[in-house]
Structures are given as C-alpha cells and as structure tokens.
Amino acid sequence: MDTIFHFTVYDGDKAHALKAAREEAERLEALWSVTRAESEISRLNHSEGTPEKVSQETLSALRYAQELYRVTDGVLDVSLFPLLSAWGFTRDTQHVPNDEVIARMLARRGIDALRIEGDTVTMPAGAELDFGAIGKGYAADIVAARLREYGVTSAILSLGGNITVMGKKPDNTPWRVAIKDPSAPERMMGVVDLSEESLATSGGYERFFIENGIRYGHILDPRTGWPAETNLLSATAIAKDGRGADAFSTTLYILGLDGAIDFYLAHEGLDFILVTSAGEVYISEGLDGRFSLLDDYAGKTVNIVIKSG
C-alpha cells in the first residue's frame, strides 16, 4: 500500500498476534495492490467486462465502496485510477492533463455500474479501481479482528498515518494521538483522545506537484477531474472503524468547510477536526474535551460544531 505499517500490542499472545497481523497485512496487499499483476484488483482492472471471481475481503470492500459512492453523492469514488494515472499520481512524474484527457478519464469511472453476483465481479469495460481512499482503513479493521483472535485488547495500529486503537492504553487511559499542523507538517498542532476508534487525515500538504507556479494536490474531485478546490488544509475523520475514518477524511476534505459540516450534520458515527486555509480549527461536538491544542497553538480558537440543540 506504498507506506509503512507499525503494529504495537500490549497484551494477549503478543508474538503470535504480531506475526498474524503482518501476514494479514501482506495478504491484503497481495489482493489489492494496483502494481501487482496477479492481484485481484489488477485482474479486475484488466478484465474489460469479463466476470472475475474474487475473495470475500475484496467483495466486502467493493460493496462498501459502492455504498460510499451513494452516501457521498459520488464524492468518494474508488474507480478513479485512470484519472490518477493521467495526472501522474500513480508514478513518479506528474503533469496537468488537458481537458479532453480529463473528460475521457472521467468517463471511465464505474464503481456504480460494477456488478456483484455471488463471488463474481463484473467491471464495466475501461473502468479501473484503486483502493487508496479505503484500503489502509479497511486493512486496519481486518488486522484488528485478527489480533483479537489472539486475546489482544490493547493495541495501536498505524498504517501510513491512519491510526486504529484497540481498547485503551495499558494504564486504562485513552490513547493520545497527535494531529499535524498542515501548514507546517513537521510540527504537531494538537492531540486527541481515542478509545476503540480510528482516525485518518487527508490533505494536500504531503503529496503535490507544482507546474507553471501552480500547486496541484493528489486528492482529486470526482465531480471535476481536477485536484479538489477546497478551503481546507486538512480534514481528520474519527470513526468507530478504520474504513470509515479513511473514507470520510477524504470526503470531508473534498467537500470543504461548509460541505464537511453539512455532511457531519447529516450522518451519525463521525467526528472531525478541520483546519481551514485561513488557519481556523473546527471540531465536532463529540471531540469537545477530547481534543486540545499544544502549547505553541494555545492562543488559537477552536470552533465547536454542535449537531443538536
């Protein structure tokens, strides 16, 4: 998944649990990697409308991806691989494609038209998948379930910045997870307390390129085919599962401040930390008392979004 995973467990059968967790992560990588010709995602991407049998894990992820597409009104779309390739975000060299190429790649989206019958998936010809927006979070959920089989109740899983915590710390206090300052990513802006939850952050501050003096981030808006035009520097989503945190951090970032707040108000099981391009910080009411700014940012106002009352 093109990142580093760190798994730390504090109880249960630690040695066997960690071995099983690593094997599970590597198995999922082998199923979902777009760069491995033998992976299930690669086979689907090259199926050209021919039905393909896939594993239960891939079936579950695809059903979830279709649900996300509907829930987010198309803002979260895992069938953007052709568009990502056109921008060069799937390789080392990026450039701005012309409008004709963008339109042609947008026409190849197809998660909504993908058909699942039993253990068989039929992709629309030309459509290609990339689990970049859900894969790490989904993997965290599967790895956590595997750890529980070995009696693990206290653990922290870091999958490329996506954080899933199991239970509480060994001293029975919540885990404290740091949040980066998106305008200075080498610095930590605040901390949030988590227990049996997952956290993911999306932003354009780590993966981008500059062409003709204009900065282009890697998070593409499926509605336009261009990098998201958002007034957010970063969007952190907190949910009970890793897949939700992963997917909704991307969704909130693309939607921008007002759209993110509207989405939060309309959906349950989601909390957020939003940092705007003006440096403002917004949190959902569920994080009131659980999120705090670090000393260097103590003078900054934290705006709390209330869902009820």
State mean pLDDT over 13-21. 98
Q: Model confidence over 232-283: pLDDT tens digits?
A: 999 999 999 999 999 999 999 999 999 999 999 999 999 999 999 999 999 9
pLDDT tens, residue by residue, 203-240? 988 889 999 999 999 999 999 999 999 999 999 999 99
Whether 151 is covered by a domain: the verdict is: no
Neighbour count for residue 100 (Cβ, 10 Å):
8
* DSSP characters over 242-283: HHHHHHHHHHHHHHHHHHHHHHHHH-SS-EEEEEETTS-EEE
Percent of the chain residues past pLDDT 90, beyond the cut: 94
- Residue 195 shares a structural domain with residue 290: yes
Q: Are 207 and 89 in contact (CB under 8 A)?
A: yes
Which amino acid does the sequence have at 249?
S
Are 112 and 227 in the same domain?
A: no
Residue 309 has pLDDT above 70, yes or no: no
Whether residues 185 and 80 fall in one domain:
no
Q: Which residue type, as a one-letter code, is found at position 162?
A: N
Residue 244 in domain: yes
Q: Within this chain, do residues 192 and 296 fall inside the same structural domain, yes or no?
A: yes
- 101 and 212 inside one domain: no
**Domain-located, residue 92:** yes
pLDDT at 308: 76
* Same domain, residue pair 200 and 276: yes
Domain count, the chain: 2
In this structure, the answer to whether residues 124 and 182 fall within a common structural domain is: no
> Which of residues 75, 96, 129 is at a domain's end?
129
Statement to judge: residues 103 and 185 lie in one domain = no
Are residues 108 and 187 located together in one domain of the fold?
Answer: no
Give the domain-ending residue among 102, 129, 156: 129
Q: Does 169 fall in a domain?
A: no
Q: Which of 280, 242, 241, 243 is nearest to 261 (CA)?
A: 280
CATH number for the domain that contains residue 298? 3.10.520.10
How high is the pLDDT of residue 92?
A: 83
Higher pLDDT, 93 or 2: 93
For 173-195, the pLDDT digits (tens) are: 999 999 999 999 999 999 999 99
pLDDT at 2: 78
In a domain, 192, yes or no: yes
Residues 185 and 254 in one domain: yes
Same domain, residue pair 112 and 229? no
Residue 134 lies in a domain: no
Q: Which domain holds residue 178?
A: 174-305
* Whether 190 and 298 share a structural domain: yes
